[in-house]
Structure 1
Amino acid sequence: MTDFARILIVGGGYVGMYTALRLQRRLRRGEAHITLVDADSYMTYQPFLPEAAAGNVEPRHVVVPLRRVLGGCRILNGWVVGVDPHARTVDLRPHGGPGRVLGYDLLVFAPGSVSRTLPIPGLAECGIGFKTLEEAIHLRNHVLAQLDLADSTTDPAIRARALTFVFVGAGFAGVEALAELEDMARDACAYYPTIEPGHMRWLLVEATDRILPEVGPEMGRWTLEQLRARGIDVRTGTRLLSALGGHLVLDDGAEFVTDTLVWTAGVRPHPLVRDSGLPLDGGGRVRATAELTVEGFGNVFTAGDCAAVPDLTKPGETCAPNAQNAVRQARVLADNVLATLRGRPLRPYRHAYAGAVAGLGLHQGVAQIRGHKVRGLPAWFMHRTYHLSQVPTLNKKVRILVDWTLALFFRREIVSLGQLSDPRAEFERAVRAERENVPEPVTLR
């Protein structure tokens, strides 16, 4: 190594940010330099995306600016397009300008995951995921814009299409996103004279025979009953066959037209993993040791969604790719990086699954904590309390708590900022109108 160790972290999600945060606190002065590379300059706390989409939490409060919290690290923004673990280099493509090669002594490889899609006709053109803040806020604006359209049109076909909302995948992301957005839309109906909650059609499509498997069969069945009691059409054991032009076809024979198709049917390792040159398991994840090093590479560490980490509590299995494991793995990973620098033995990652909590809209939730089953208001309170405790930095904890406190006294905002998705559209229309010397459509404000 050089006079100081070069620690390179690929990925600014749970593993990358928490590892860097722990390292900068525990490294001695001059012991190492840390560089973190990610396409974005912030980390998103994903469990609060449904609340951000529903307007319960300000969107900026569920993201953590990396440059602020990682003052002891060098932050580079761009896409990693190649890794050479033998030459100990990483190829970086910044958002602008020429690419560059970054060398390292120790590598933390944690690019995370992306939405797992299927070759369904029309899905790429009509669908949207629910994994990023941008997707969550777009969906909020889109749902409200669909209510605006339905209230304004006199065409029954357009109205029916606008008021149909379809979610595919009944894990945490799908159930929580649907429940929060349906709750928001139900509240919003008070402002639309021609729309009642019963006019909207919300569908949840799941290929397996159960929903929310993370909370166990009993709580999953209870959640199913609660969603159906709210008028949500939940179809288990059902697959989406086609989505061409927004015309959805299910394998149970149902067909309907919609402008809202949300795909939350699982995740897969980031595409960079496949081209990393690191050993992979059958699921395309990096093969890790219990000490969170990559098999065959003692100077490369990995964890999170992209890594197949042995589950020492269940021999022969790997740890589930969830936030609970990622946050805890990051702590062990950071300690093992320090141990490597200082010539000390590494510690294996061992964590017994504590349980799961899920929010189902305001004052509704479901949880299974260490075998104890909780539902309704207590589960919703546990969901908020647990995730508030896990949000990085005191700054964000206070801001989210203030959002919730204000919500006790004021109704949430029901406004669609649709042009956030295409902010230059109005300016481009003005330019075209000027060139063509035709009247520009007036936007009333």
Structure 2
Amino acid sequence: MNTVTRPRILVVGAGFAGVECVRRLERKLSPDEADVTLVTPFAYQLYLPLLPQVASGVLTPQSIAVSLRRSKKYRTRIIPGGAIGVDLKSKVCVIRTITDQIVNERYDYIVLAPGSITRTFDIPGLTDHAFGMKTLAEAAYVRDHVISQLDLADASQDPEERASRLQFVVVGGGYAGTETAACLQRLTHAAVKRYPRLDPGLIKWHLIDIAPKLMPELGDKLGSSAQEILRRRGIEISLGVSIAKAGPEEVTFTDGRVIPTRTLIWTAGVVASPLIATLDAETVKGRLAVAPEMNLPGDDGVFALGDSAAVPDLAKGDGAMCPPTAQHAMRQGRHVADNVIASLRGGAMRPYVHKDLGLVVDLGGTDAVSKPLGIELRGLPAQAVARGYHWSALRTNVAKTRVMTNWLLNAVAGDDFVRTGFQARKAARLKDFEYTDAYLTPEQVRAHAEGTARLE
């Protein structure tokens, strides 16, 4: 008897790109046309741009973790784990499950959307003493940590300890860093009213970046407006400055200043997932070099998109690459699904083209700056655009309802400043959340793939 095996489509990553790809594959492919498998440690899509609002308590963690199992056409098999290597020749993906088992998954088509990790540098003490803002666990943990600093400062009789616990440093003047500093400053500003023994003047927030401008993509006028809003709130902004070294109770800036602090939040950019380095393929600044159709030249059935792929930005031209934004990732996910289907059915693939729709920056409360379609907005109009964009981009009606309810409740009732228990006695830092040491070398990947071939 001849057994017909359906083509196996493996999607790596459940970010904006991966989830949009899977959803489109489910809608456009009949069940007997292909088997779709998704590799992700969590069965949810994280709406990353709203993480600062989780850290500040405006939103609950569950509200931005959108379940993958709510789709009416859901039929994708989910492997709970992370891809740690891919052998393109053998068409094998090596996966470490959430129970630390190593399994090999064969594929006919693979869509690589593993996203990015926090970019770090060889700065003494950085990974041991800094927090990130890249995962849901980090956002919840940072909130607990910031509130615990207020609790401990309130209980302390030592003026020096109080001062160090009430100073906070955020590194990174991009969207993530700016929104994180803005939202958490509002948290401490509101919370200190519940601590009558604390002097509000002791609470100091520092936002630093090595670049000469804050969020340069916004342009000079909006960037200056954002700076003015933050400075008016008391956030000290230092540009052209970075971290020289980090310790448990102080941070040294590159300009020589030493800031006593127990809180260093590092948001100085991202780099492609280490998974890309296991492919032993051509890269552009760490991102996998792909064609405008988002396929890997010379390797049939291999596609890459999102933060980990250097996708040519044909709308801009001049050799530009698409920036690692949610806006591009969502559209690339749908587009790559169409190209996978075209390849599966013997059709022609189309190049990806999308003109950027603009930028939104939510600074909390009624403060925001936005640039939709090139139109510069500030204040309430900008806030309406920013939140309207985020709300509409949420994938399910349940998620939209939760987020809108959280916004309204926070606006009316405020925050109770409750720690949820993530702040344990053993501190967790940047290196504890992203598991960057879990990936294999290309040689190890080949060894795993060859072992699977021998067993078969």
Q: TM-score, normalised by structure 1?
A: 0.92
Deviations 1:199-240 (A, max 9, x none): 201000110100112322211111111111111110001121
Q: Who is 1:443 aligned against?
A: none
CA deviation map 1:101-127 (0-9, x unaligned): 111111001111000001111111110
| 1:255 correspondence with 2:258 | yes
* Cα distance in 2 between the residues matched to 1:424 and 1:159: 21
Tell me which amino acid in the other structure corresponds to 1:125.
D
SS of the aligned residue for 2:300 comes to strand
Which residue of structure 2 lines up, in the alignment, with residue 56 of structure 1? 58
Of 84, 90, 93, which aligns to 1:90? 93
Residue type of the alignment partner of 1:360:
L
Shift of 1:402: 1.5
Q: Which amino acid aligns with 2:56?
A: A
Q: Deviations over 1:349-395 (max 9, x none)?
A: 10111110001111110011222100111111111000000011111
Residue of structure 1 in register with 2:372 after alignment: 369
What is aligned with 1:336? Answer: 339
Specify the code of the residue in structure 2 equivalent to 1:335. D
Report the secondary structure of 1:297's partner residue.
coil
What is the deviation of 1:144? Answer: 0.8
Which letter does structure 2 place at the counterpart of 1:115? T
Higher relative contact order (CA 8 A, sep 6+): 2
Name the counterpart of 2:152. 149
Structure 2 equivalent of residue 407 of structure 1 = 410
Report matched runs for 1:196-345 at 5 Å: 196-281=199-284, 283-315=285-317, 316-345=319-348
Does 1:392 pair with 2:395? yes
Q: Deviation at 1:423?
A: 8.6
1:97 to partner: Cα distance: 6.0
Counterpart CA distance in 2 for 1:80 and 1:383 is: 33
Contact 2:164-2:250 within 8 A present in 1 as well? no
The answer to whether 1:66 aligns with 2:68 is yes
* Distance of aligned partners of 1:97 and 1:326 in 2 relative to their CA distance in 1, 3 Å threshold: closer
- Match of 2:134, SS state, is coil
SS at match of 1:298: coil
Look up the SS of the partner of 1:60 in the other structure: helix
The answer to which of 164-173 and 364-373 deviates more is 364-373
Q: Partners of 1:404 and 1:209 in 2: how far apart?
A: 34
CA RMSD, Structure 1 to Structure 2 (Å): 1.7
Query: Please, which of 22, 25, 28 is the counterpart of residue 23 of structure 1?
Result: 25
Correspondence 1:360 to 2:360 = no
Shift of 1:87: 1.1
Maintained 8 Å contact 2:124/2:245: yes
Question: In 1, Cα distance between the equivalents of 2:161 and 2:372?
Answer: 45
- 5+ residue gaps, structure 2, are 428-456
Q: Cα distance, 1:275 vs. partner?
A: 0.8
CA distance in 2, matches of 1:245, 1:196: 23
1:276 alignment partner AA? L
1:109 aligns with 2:103: no
Structure-1 separation of matches of 2:332 and 2:171: 30
Query: Counterpart in 1 of 2:9?
Result: 7
Which residue type is aligned with residue 31 of structure 2? R
C-alpha distance in 2, partners of 1:366/1:196? 31
Task: Provide closer, same or farther for how the CA distance between residues 286 and 148 of structure 1 changes in structure 2, counting only shifts above 3 A.
Answer: same
Higher deviation after alignment, 158-167 or 27-36: 27-36
CA displacement, residues 29-82 of structure 1 (integer Å, 9 cap, x when unaligned)? 311110001122222101111111111111101012224447310000123222
> Aligned pair in 2 of structure 1 residues 197, 383: CA closer, same or farther (>3 Å)?
farther
Distance 1:299 1:2 in 2: 19
Question: What do residues 278-321 of structure 1 show as CA deviations (whole Å, max 9, x unaligned)?
Answer: 3222x011011111111222311110000000010222111111
- What CA distance in whole angstroms lies between the structure 2 residues aligned with 1:230 and 1:2? 65
CA distance 1:410–1:219, shift in 2 (3 Å): same
Identity of matched residues, %: 39
Per-residue CA deviations over 1:240-274 (Å, capped at 9, x if unaligned) read 10113332111222112111000000000111111
Q: How many residues align?
A: 423
**Which residue identity is paired with 2:205?**
W
Structure 1, unaligned runs of 5 or more: 426-445
Q: Flag the 1:222–1:184 CA change in 2: closer, same or farther, 3 A.
A: same
Asked if structure 2 preserves the Cα contact closer than 8 Å seen for 1:6 and 1:104, the reply is: yes
Match for 1:245: what amino acid? Answer: P
Match of 2:170 among 167, 175, 184: 167
